[in-house]
Amino acid sequence: MGKKSRRPNRNNKPKDIPAAASTAAVVAALRQVITSATDNAANLLFTTYNQLCVSRDWEGLLELESEMSAFAKTSESSHPSLACGINYNLGAAHKEMGREGGIEQASLYFGNSIKLARKAGDNEVLTKGMLSLATCYVKMGRVDEAMDLYMSLCEEIGKESMDPGNILAFAENLQVNHETSQALTILKEYLEVIARSWGKRDQCGAYYIIARLYHDKNDFTKSNDYFERQLSIAKETKNVESEHDALHGLGHNYGSMGEYDNAMECLK
């Protein structure tokens, strides 16, 4: 069964950013403003970072890294939220690069972002940082540490305050790394929270992932139950894409169960 991402809250992804000027020229400009934690300097820094990420210019980003780290350091006292964001973005970049030692380096940056998020009282970035660090731990085979970090986050800010997109992303990461039971534990604990406070789109996303997890465990009956829940909400909200995904999942499950007429009905 194909695995498709169903993560909400993608609106932070850079969009339609024009190509950067030469990295060397931008870095030279940054060096002139690096000692001043101003809005203009921050905007230049983040715009350049976004440009390099969109173009996947990892070498350029590595060239910019020392300037970003220096800027974050000068901002820690007066602008902890800004410094926190820089550390988080550097961690995300190293995680994305796929270079040797990148996950370890990403972990260090995410750790810094967590400390600064606490200082700034920014629970949104704290959640992103802790779950991103937990994701790194999963990739490094340190699953128990990842789950401990997740549980400490639940206790620190409360499940109701945790962004659903980040929770779904962490659960999907566990699934991709074959930690099916752990992913199910997280999402099934969240069902009450989902029903109480998440939007319909996020409910669909959670049910979809749970259905896939049960499919991976060859428990097609439970998988169908969650696909049916997803399908019901998708029809209610006229979410055609989610409805298609639920029917596609049901069709594959029925096929695996040998119920070919039901499978054809879902897949037609």
CA 108/CA 102 separation, integer angstroms: 10
Number of CB atoms found within 10 A of residue 167's CB: 27
Close Cβ partners of 48 (under 8 Å, ≥ 6 residues apart): 20, 26, 30, 64
Classify residue 181: in a domain, yes or no.
Answer: yes
Q: Are 48 and 71 in contact (CB under 8 A)?
A: no
pTM over 0.75: no
Structure tokens at 25: 């020229």
3 falls within a domain: no
On whether residue 197 sits in a domain, the answer given is yes
- Statement: residue 266 has pLDDT above 60: yes
pLDDT of residue 258: 93
Query: Do residues 231 and 201 lie in contact, with contact meaning Cβ atoms separated by under 8 Å?
Result: no
- Scanning the structure block, which residue is given the tokens 């030469």? 22
Quick: pLDDT tens for 28-49: 555 554 545 556 667 777 777 7
In a domain, 183, yes or no: yes
Over the chain, what is the mean pLDDT? 80
Q: Residues 27, 51: contact at Cβ < 8 Å?
A: no
Structure confidence at residue 226 (pLDDT): 92
Cite the beta strand spans of the chain per DSSP E. none
pLDDT digits (tens, 9 = 90+) for 133-157: 999 999 899 999 999 999 999 888 8
pLDDT tens column, 241-260? 999 999 999 999 999 999 99
Cβ neighbours for 168, distance < 8 A, ≥ 6 positions apart? 6, 7, 8, 187, 202, 205, 206, 209
In a domain, 28, yes or no: no
Rg (CA), the chain: 21
Phi, psi of 79 (to 5 degrees): -135, 70
Number of structural domains (the chain) is: 1
Longest pairwise C-alpha distance within the chain = 69
Question: Is 98 among the domain residues?
Answer: no
Q: What is the CATH number of the domain that holds 228?
A: 1.25.40.10
Confidence at residue 20, expressed as pLDDT on a 0 to 100 scale: 42
CA distance 71 to 42: 8
* Sequence-separated contacts (24+) of 211-217 with Cβ below 8 Å: 211/246, 211/249, 212/1, 212/3, 212/175, 212/249, 213/175, 213/180, 213/183, 213/184, 213/187, 214/184, 215/1, 215/249, 215/252, 215/253, 215/256, 216/175, 216/180, 217/180
Instruction: Answer whether residue 156 is part of any domain.
Output: no
DSSP 8-state code for residue 178: T
Domain that holds residue 259: 167-268
Percentage above 70 pLDDT, the chain: 83
Whether 253 maps to a domain, the answer reads yes
